[in-house]
Amino acid sequence: MEGLNLIAAGLACVAMAGAGIGVGTIFGNYLQAAIRNPSAAQAQFGNLIFGFAVTEALGIFGFAIALILIYAPPG
Amino acid sequence: MLQVATDPMHQFQVTRLFDLHIGGVDISFTNSALFMVIGVLLIIGFFAWALSRPQTVPSRKQSLAEIWYGFVAGIVKDVNHEDGKPFVPLVFTIFSFIFVANMLGMLPNAFTSTSHIVVTGTMAIFTFLLVVVIGVWKNGFKFLKVFVPSGVPWYILWFVVIIEIFSFLSRPLSLGMRLFANMLGGHVALKVFAGFVPQLILGLGFIGGAMATVLVMPLVIGVTALELLVAFLQAYVFAILTCVYLNDALHPGGH
């Protein structure tokens, strides 16, 4: 059981791949838009960070599950 | 010796500086508390020093304090517009505390109090409860509109409401976990990369290790620079999310 929990914790880190794709998409699109229209870029910086934070939260939920599986395994 | 030097989790050990038990509750003064107190004293001391003799045309130290305050006031103004004015001191306090705590943690041998979920979770729960209290106080039952976004067709609305309820309830979790996970992960990575140096010296002898260290050093400097960026960015993210959540409390259903 101990080993299975560790494998599950490793699998939970797959969530970080999704968060990586999402964060990359957000910053990539922001950069693309900012190069097309640099004068509008500064006004959208807050939105950029907000979208980044919300996307990153999903990766962090995966990390939280991994921590739970390692330090407080169910059963 | 090597165990302490290379164990990446050792830096997160909370130790009692002196014992203090009142009524069976352990409120010992720990190194975590010490660094939080240092951070708060640094902020108060800096602003007392910088604004000791305020002038219309600011001096250098006064400009620094004004840029710092103006930066946070700018965040609140961007997100909450005029309604956010009463909350500028709150957001400023949260931002400054997290920023200084993160930066103190970057010093060698210092303790990062924001790398513990007790600290970040408390701040996140405080922010969450504040939003609920302000929302109910300002809007009464209309605060429930926060779960019902405007302009959604009725046949999909019930599903959106369920998602909104879950996303609202997961806010304190994600807010606290984000700061904690970023500081923990960053410092572990920093320590692992720095731990290459003693391991290389042990493995290759002093001369070989010193030569290999030259290769490792740019990497460590790069990770440290990235950590400094993250330390600022996480304080900024916490502040901006506090503003966004406060906006929900002031104008429920308006997103």
- Convert the pLDDT of each residue in A10-19 to its tens digit: 999 899 999 9
Listed ranges A24-33, B103-112, B199-208; the one with the highest mean pLDDT: A24-33
Probe site for chain B from A56, A68, A70, A71 (most B CB atoms < 10 A): A56
Question: What's the mean pLDDT in B160-182?
Answer: 91
DSSP B147-176: GS-TT--HHHHHHHHHHHHHHHHTHHHHHH
Whole-number pLDDT of residue B254: 64
Task: Over range A46-66, report the average pLDDT.
Answer: 87
Residue B5 has a pLDDT of 57
C-alpha to C-alpha distance for B183 and A70, rounded to whole angstroms: 19
Q: Which pLDDT value is given to residue A75? A: 67
pLDDT at position B71 is 94
Task: State whether residue B56 is helix, strand or coil.
Answer: coil
C-beta atoms of A53 and B170 within 8 A: no
Residue B88 has pLDDT above 70, yes or no: yes
pLDDT at B99: 96
pLDDT of residue B13: 84
Q: Which of B181, B185, B237 sits opposite A49 (nearest CB)?
A: B237
Residues of B in contact with A27 (CB under 8 A): none
Is A31 in the B-facing interface, judged by CB distances under 8 Å? no
Please tell me the predicted confidence (pLDDT) of residue B192. Answer: 82
What is the pLDDT at residue A29? 96
Question: How confident is the model over B43-54, as pLDDT tens digits?
Answer: 999 999 999 988
Can you tell me the distance from the alpha carbon of A4 to that of A8, in angstroms, rounded to the nearest whole number?
6
Q: Which of B9, B72, B174 to mutate to test the interface with A (most CBs of A within 10 A)?
A: B174
Beta strands at B25-26 and B21-22: parallel, antiparallel or unpaired: antiparallel
Question: Could you tell me the pLDDT band of residue B4, with boundaries at 50, 70 and 90?
Answer: low
Domain A2-71 has CATH 3.90.950.10: no
Confidence of residue B79 (pLDDT cuts 50, 70, 90): confident
- The per-residue b/e assignment along B176-191, b for 16 or more CB within 10 angstroms, e otherwise, is bbbbbbbbbebbeebb
pLDDT at B1 over 60: no
Q: What's the full length of chain A, in residues?
A: 75
Of B242, B245, B246, the residue nearest B98 (C-alpha): B242
pLDDT of residue B255 exceeding 80: no
Q: Please name the member of B178, B185, B240 whose beta carbon is closest to the beta carbon of A50.
A: B240
State the average pLDDT over residues B139-162.
88
Distance in Å, alpha carbon of A53 to nearest chain B alpha carbon: 7
pLDDT of residue B100: 96
Q: Report pLDDT digits (tens) over B105-132.
A: 999 888 999 999 999 999 999 999 999 9
A53 touches chain B (CB under 8 A): yes
Q: Residue B141: what pLDDT?
A: 87
CA–CA distance, B171 with B245 (Å, rounded to integer): 9
Question: Can you list the alpha helix ranges (DSSP code H) found in B51-170?
Answer: 60-80, 88-105, 117-139, 154-169
In chain A, residues with a C-beta closer than 8 Å to the C-beta of B233 are 49
